[in-house]
Amino acid sequence: MTPTTYEPDPQVREVVVLGGGPAAHRLADALHARDSERTLRVRVISEEQHLPYDRVALSTRLDGPVDLTLAPSGVWDSDHVVLHRETRADAVDTAARTVTTASGEVLRYDALVFATGSSAPVPDIPGSHLARVYRTIDDVDRLVADVERISAQHGRPARVLVAGGGLLGLEAAGGFARLGAETAIVHSGSWLMSAQLDEGAGQALGRIIAGQGITLHLGTRPRAVLTSDDGASVIGVKFSNGQSVPTDIVVFAIGIRPRDELAASAGITLGARGGIAIGTDCATSAESVWAIGEVASFGGVCTGLVAPANAMAEVVADRLLGGAAEFTSVDDATKLKLSGVDVASFGDALATTENALEIVYADPARGLYQKIVTTNDAKTLLGGIFVGDASPYASLRPLLGSVLANEPAAYLSAAGVDAPAGDDLPDTALACSCNNVSVGQVRDAVHGVNGEACTTLPDLKACSRAGTQCGSCVPLVKKILETELTKSGVAISRALCEHFALSRQELFESVRVLELRSFDEIVSRFGTGRGCDVCKPVVASILASQTDGHILDSGRGTLQDTNDRAMANMQKDGSYSVVPRIPGGEITPQKLAVIAQVATDFGLYTKITGGQRIDLFGARLDQLPEIWRILVDAGFESGQAYGKALRNVKSCVGSTWCRFGVQDSVSMAIRLELRFRGLRAPHKFKFGVSGCARECAEARGKDIGVIATDGGWNLYVGGNGGFQPSHGQLLASDLDDETLIRYIDRYMMYYIRTADRLQRTARWMEDLDGGIDHVRAVVVEDSLGLAEELEQAMAAHVDNYEDEWAATLADPERLKKFRSFVNAPDSADPSLARVEERGQLRPATQEERKSGKAILLSGTTIPVRSET
């Protein structure tokens, strides 16, 4: 083929960009927006057929076709910006300043920008030619088709093994699990995300991931992909530890390899570990040639994060237009975007700074690990890690390097104090690291300083670009928006999240009136996209409180968090606790004997809780159904210790035994617990019933508190313990039994219908205009005319209640979810180790594991490792 030569316009400088990914899009958009005199013509050479798309959100494509095109897409409609799709550059001549494409076309340039990105490496091991990667839209679409094909072909879920326990690997594994595949992860590190998280956080994340039904193989790596006899398909993988596991699809997500081969062939200097070496101006060793994004090696390191890629693109855009911008640092903050998993890290998360101080909060029962890293004087923020609840991330990330106004622990959500937002953040703080948008720029956009005011979250994201890429800063952007609108006297949107413009209350009512029964129905009617970690659990709760179906049926299982899916609470070592319901704390000796026998037979640690129940700790996932069966046969049922539901009704012994008791508090407690068991709500809730004013059941510290009087019952509402304790407020006095229950029915259903997500009754009442007086008017005086409707809704719940444990035991399909290893259903988790203490077995510490004191659940003593 005779090459054709593109003749440039001598009046316009020609900029050629190699690569059509997010970095190239950001550069093209920046040049299009800033080059008002059109002195540049930009030609972008892309090998893919798609417009540049958001690789950060690639995993959402596993849930179904979704448009990932980066905004603004209108940049490609400009005469001065041309996108060459499905075009490959074959050669660069830096002396002649030309780029030759695979078709033979020769493009002359005045400036050349490498944005060729990276490829996904596959190790050179036997059978690796059949392995797959997870890098492009086409990769993902082919994987989805393969999972569906294999599942149909074998009549069972496809088995997918993801090699790599970093961000991309976890998102890929989560997507395959949502597709219904039997999913596993193999990771060479001792814990997941070992490059970003410390051991405590990594172990906490591992328990959450394992709780989603994803099998983990840690501390090993693939050594061979096992193939069928004809060598045409994958049948398994052999690990470096000698173990082999069956699988149908192997996906490698073990990092990135910069696509620097074109630059190398042109004689451009590369970094020591690959990638095109650049300076603070993003220039390469060749004149008028720059590099941005994953292919660029800055300080000897290539990074696969979007924030530095965007920053580099902005620097090159400024330089091409005569500026002197510099790229000085890499922002390596990360946030995992996986349904049901909340993980984030930023700054010096691993505390490598000399004399760094680590403030850690860990709550294994809640699956929570939070750490803030500061200077030794506990004043300057250096970094942080959050697992299980990453809500502080959005507000703390902008304060990196700043002096904290409060004690560090006060910024952890575990402390019950909101991290700073709105007026608490300086204008110079970074709101969106991906797009380098400051808090001041967000505020200016809200008030229309440089144009039209942006008063809704979608408008604010569009005009400021904050929150348009990875999305981790959206909560902070929303807080700033609300703060600024409040200061201006503008009503604030109560949208549930970016996928639902309705508030939780509005969504609840809409679902109720239209009798919708699935997430797909709800999102197609009232939302957009595929949902997120905010709206999915809310919808699950709404459906649970309005329907009589099992919480894991009709697609609702994928909306639940780990504990709800397992119907048990995950503990720090990956085992589970079982809490049978003991209404009112009353139990027969025969039932006590059953619990004792279960604890003995399964080697469970037992603990009487503050809610008058018995916790059985240390059960494996695969043991749960067998434990449930014994308990159910003895008359027990699930205590719903895992859900946003009624936990327990605490009571004293009342007039039955106590000489001070004036009412039968035990009978009332049992009646209330059996009535409200399994009721899903915006947050967990507890009851208390005291037989006299001495208040031995601590009823005023409960969401519903009932205290006996000589004339009946006093009803208190809106109390709770926790990090922000509140005393219940008196709603009504001297009630008879039936009136008491009727008022509680109304109160609870009104709360369920109108509270925000994860809002306790105390906080809900604080937000109500009129507080307790408003509640009294609705519940007692029926000021809204809803009393009968609320009572009927509660009656429907009572009539349709079904024990979740018993229902699961009766369904073979549900039981399939309770296996420690999907590929070896009869195998126990070998990592669970115990130490005897005070006559019971508790989880072993790392030191006890290393010293040989720990005992595996199989009964084998862990050998002492030699220190070499």
- Sequence ranges of the binding site for siroheme: 696
Question: Could you tell me the CA-to-CA distances from 27 to 18, 216, 461 in Å, in that order?
Answer: 11, 39, 19
The Cα–Cα gap between 479 and 486 comes to: 10
CA angle 191, 193, 194 (to 5 degrees): 60
Residues 6 or more apart in contact with residue 310 via CB below 8 angstroms: 22, 23, 26, 434, 435, 436, 469
3-state secondary structure 203-256: HHHHHHHHHCCCEEEECCCEEEEEECCCCCCEEEEEECCCCEEECCEEEECCCC
CA angle 821, 825, 829 (to 5 degrees): 45
Which residue, 519, 480, 475, 517, is CA-closest to 497? 475
Q: Could you tell me which of 803, 513, 782 has the C-alpha nearest to residue 645?
A: 803
Task: Decide: 192 and 165 in contact? Cβ < 8 Å.
Answer: yes
C-alpha 199/C-alpha 207 separation (Å) is 12
Residue among 710, 606, 592, 731 at smallest CA distance from 661: 710
Q: Is the peptide bond before 364 cis (omega within 30 degrees of 0)?
A: no
DSSP-derived 3-state class of residue 733: strand
CA neighbor of 386 nearest in space, from 405, 402, 406, 366: 366
Whole-number Å distance between alpha carbons of 594 and 592 = 5
What are 218's two structure tokens? 């840690």
Tell me the C-alpha to C-alpha distance, in Å, between residue 174 and each of 170, 840, 849: 6, 36, 30
Strand partners, 608: 614
Q: How far is CA 438 from the centre of its chain?
A: 25
- Binding-site positions: 652, 658, 692, 696
Structure tokens at 703: 């969401």
CB-based contacts of 162, cutoff 8 Å, min separation 6: 134, 169, 172, 173, 176, 183, 184, 185, 186, 251, 253
**Alpha-carbon span 35 to 221, nearest angstrom:** 50
Element (H, E) at 668: helix 665-676
CB-CB contact of 100 with 3 (8 Å): yes
Asked if 653 and 584 touch (Cβ cutoff 8 Å), the reply is no
- The Cα 417–Cα 410 span in angstroms is 6
Longest dimension (CA), the chain: 106
Distance CA 540, CA 535 (A): 9
Binding site, annotated residues for [4Fe-4S] cluster: 652, 658, 692, 696
User: What is the DSSP-derived secondary structure letter of residue 380?
Assistant: B
Going across the sheet that includes 381-387, the strands are 334-338, 341-347, 381-387, 368-374, 357-363
Give yes or no for a contact between 775 and 765, defined as CB atoms under 8 angstroms apart: yes
Beta-carbon-side half-sphere exposure of residue 767 (alpha carbons within 13 Å):
11
Name the strand (E) or helix (H) holding 345: strand 341-347
- Residue 697 near residue 689 (C-beta atoms within 8 A): yes
Cα gap 629→318, rounded to integer Å = 68
